[in-house]
Amino acid sequence: MNTVLFMMLAGGIVSFFLERYKFNILGIESYLLIIVPLVIIFVFLLRGRQVFEYDSDGEALNFKNRNIIPFLDRPLSDEFPKYKFISYEIVNMLFIKRLYVTISSKNNGSTMLKYEISYLTKKEINDLKLSLNKVVKANSEKKVVSVNDNRRILA
């Protein structure tokens, strides 16, 4: 996708110069040959990292979020035990989607991690929600059991 966008921009620039100095048909509208691909690239980059990987197998949760272009920014990679997972929230703003994950931390009490999931399909988001809900439910059941065990010990 990224290659196609940059090819559109290169084609727009070449078309702009051909139009401007050879054909001169469009006039001032010839600037749109450059502006439209730039706007499309801006929106593409604004949506965030294109690759999101999630793994909940075993005793740990793995989240990875990276760009298709490796040098654009640093990839995010987090791994933590399932029992530290507190909650999550998916925020959907126009065409940008974010996943906010709250985990327990020794120092601060809790830490919020942010992942960009704009390029996931509805089915993938629903699968992610289902998996995260299972972890939240399992953690809440463990807390209820541990609280009841503590009450028995105190009694």
The pLDDT score that the predictor gives to residue 99 is: 94
User: What is the per-residue pLDDT across 31-68, written as a single tens digit (0 to 9) for each?
Assistant: 888 888 888 888 877 777 888 899 988 889 999 998 87
DSSP letter at 112 equals E
Cβ-based neighbour number of residue 100 at 10 Å? 13
User: What is the per-residue pLDDT across 94-121, written as a single tens digit (0 to 9) for each?
Assistant: 888 999 999 988 887 888 999 999 888 9
Which residue's entry shows tokens 């604004």? 46
The dihedrals phi and psi of 64, each to the nearest 5 degrees, come to -135, 135
**Residue 60 forms beta bridges with which residues?**
81
The answer to whether 33 and 19 are in contact (CB under 8 A) is: yes
Tell whether the model's pLDDT for residue 148 goes beyond 60.
no
Q: Among 32-36, 85-89, 129-133, whose mean pLDDT is lowest?
A: 32-36
Q: Which residue has the higher pLDDT, 5 or 89?
A: 89
Q: Which residue has the higher pLDDT, 128 or 144?
A: 128
| Confidence (pTM) | 0.72
For CA atoms 120, 123, 125, 127, give the dihedral sign.
negative
